[in-house]
Amino acid sequence: MVTFNNFIVTDGIFSMRGDYAPLDIISNLSKKYDREFPENILLVVDDSHGIGAYGKTGRGTEEYTNAKGVDMLVGTLGKAFGVNGGYVTSNQTIITYLRESAPMYIYSNPISPAV
C-alpha cells in the first residue's frame, strides 16, 4: 500500500471570490517536488463549485486549467447536480482504502435516486 504523509489541498473554485486555483501549476509543482518527499505528495482538490460549471464539458476546474495529475478529486452533488451526496475520485488503491476504512462510508446508506 502507498503511504502519503504530504498533502496539497485546495479548492478548485474559491466560492467567496469566484476565482479558481491554478491547478495546472499546482499539479506541476507537486510532480516536481514529489521525489524529494520520502512518502510522496498527494494533490487533493475540492471542486464542489467547479464541477458542472467550469471547463468545456463541465468537468470542473481540472478541465478548465488543463491540469494533469490531480490525485484525489472530491465534491458535492448538491450544487450543480441538485441532489444530495458527494463523491471522491482517485486511483483504485485510495478508493479501496476509503471503502474499507471510512466510517462515514461503511455505516451509510446509498444516495437517494433523483426524481
* Active-site residue identified among 27, 30, 48, 49: 49
Q: Is 48 a catalytic residue?
A: no
**How far is Cα 87 from Cα 62, in angstroms, rounded to an integer?**
15
Q: Is 32 a catalytic residue?
A: no
Q: Is 68 a catalytic residue?
A: no
Question: Degrees (nearest 5) of the Cα angle 8, 11, 16?
Answer: 140
In 3D space, the residue among 50, 80, 78, 75 whose CA is nearest the CA of residue 65 turns out to be: 50
* Active-site residue identified among 30, 48, 79, 108: 79
**How far is Cα 56 from Cα 52, in angstroms, rounded to an integer?**
10
* Active-site residue identified among 15, 31, 68, 108: 15
Residue 99, exposed/middle/buried by CB under 10 A (0-12, 13-18, 19+)? exposed
Catalytic residues: 15, 49, 79
